[in-house]
Amino acid sequence: MKISYLPIFDKVLDVIHTANSSLDRDLVRQKVLNLYLETFDHEGAVFFLPDEAGNLSNTIINNLDETFNQRFKKYYCKFDPLQLIRKPQRTSRASMARSISYDSMVSTEYYNDFLRPQRIHYKLLAYLGTMEGILGKVALTRGAGSPCFSENEIRLARAVTPYLAHALYLNELQRKICLNDISSKRSDVLQNFNLSRRETEVAEHVFKGLKNSEIAKKLFVSEVTVKKHIQKIYTKLGVRNRTSMMNKIMEIQSAS
């Protein structure tokens, strides 16, 4: 079966455009994941993303149980033959996407206690990497009663994955350049909204793309406290979420 790549690459171009025009890392990551979800038939999906140590312990899951996701990080990851959480050193273009079958593991604890309850027997694994390193891994899953991922699907994944990896890299590079350049100006803008010193610190970490749990560790406070600070920031800025907060502040900076 011949696959038409043109509609898919229109979506890829949309992701690249978003990566170049937005500083919202979560938005870009979600659009990358959505492209895989919309392109390949699947039953579940996990997007493994880097933490501060470079390991891929941060995750976005789709149609899978968060309880099992946490068990994987705490225990089952050590049985994982794919080493999904560990950051690989280098990935060739040919290995940027591959299909995996767990036929040989059906008698193991890992399969029967972790994979089987989630209906995972096949995976399509995409490595989102550039010469600078790995920016994430996407694992799409299917159960034993479904067909394995085909050669056509693997070829398509290998075709789009380098572009999506490049989009993630460009977005990270743009964030570093822009956020360093406008950090001092942003502080002035935040002061105009009468944010407290702690609220300003929280807002800065939000701009860096940190999650609430990561901000809590940075500031040595509870995650509940971080959430309260963020709600106060939203109220003072007259916004409802992170994206609108970032957009509003950037608009004011651009006008000043």
Distances (CA, A) of 213 to 77, 210, 242: 21, 8, 15
What confidence tens digit (pLDDT) does each residue in 3-45 have? 556 688 889 999 999 998 888 889 999 999 999 999 999 999 9
Amino acid residing at 177: I
Structure tokens at 231: 């709600």
* Tokens found for residue 209: 């793309």
Measured CA to CA, the distance from residue 233 to residue 228 in angstroms comes to 9
Nearest-CA neighbor of 135 among 95, 98, 88? 88
pLDDT in tens, 59-91: 999 999 999 999 999 999 999 988 888 766 555
- Cα 214-219-224 angle, rounded to 5 deg: 70
142 — pLDDT class (breaks 50, 70, 90): very high
Percent of all residues in the chain with a pLDDT value above 90, rounded to a whole number: 56
Q: CA dihedral defined by 35, 38, 39, 42, rounded to 10 degrees?
A: 120
Other C-beta atoms within 10 Å of 178: how many? Answer: 14
Domains of the chain plus CATH, in order, are 6-173 (3.30.450.40), 193-255 (1.10.10.10)
Q: What is the mean pLDDT of the chain?
A: 87
99-139 pLDDT, tens digit per residue, is 999 999 999 999 999 999 999 999 999 999 888 788 999 99
